Amino acid sequence: MSDPTIFTRILQGEIPGEILLETERVFVLRDINPQAALHLLVIPRTQEYRDVVELAAGDPSLLAEMVEVAGRVAAAHADGQFRLIFNTGADAGQTVFHVHAHVLAGELQEKSLVGH
């Protein structure tokens, strides 16, 4: 088993973090370094998939659930319109290799490109 990722450690309560919602398979964490008025991360509980390409190949229904939850939190915490970003690979700005979707809503930081 690989070492727990920062997101797993937050989920397990080892590290503080604001978790807004949990389902059987995913949880929603407020990003510590927000790039928009609302910046949340939708994260599977499992850390077995490093990125969205692995996830889509390995468990497409979990990916679909992440998108559904993103829509739900964007409706609950903003006006329901949002940007959904999966940084994939270090050169694309991915820093945590435990797949996660960025949900950005409301006013964005100028030319917001998460991870840059």
Q: Which residue out of 39, 77, 98, 100 is catalytically annotated?
A: 100
Sheet (strand 101-108) strand order: 19-22, 26-30, 36-44, 101-108, 83-85
Establish if 71 lies at the interface with ligand 5GP (CB under 6 A): no
Site for ligand 5GP in 12-51 (CB under 6 A): 15, 17, 29-33, 41
- In the beta sheet, which residues pair with residue 103? 40, 84
DSSP 20: E
Q: How many residues bind ligand 5GP (CB under 6 A)?
A: 16
List residues near ligand 5GP by CB under 6 A: 6, 15, 17, 29-33, 41, 87, 93-96, 114-115
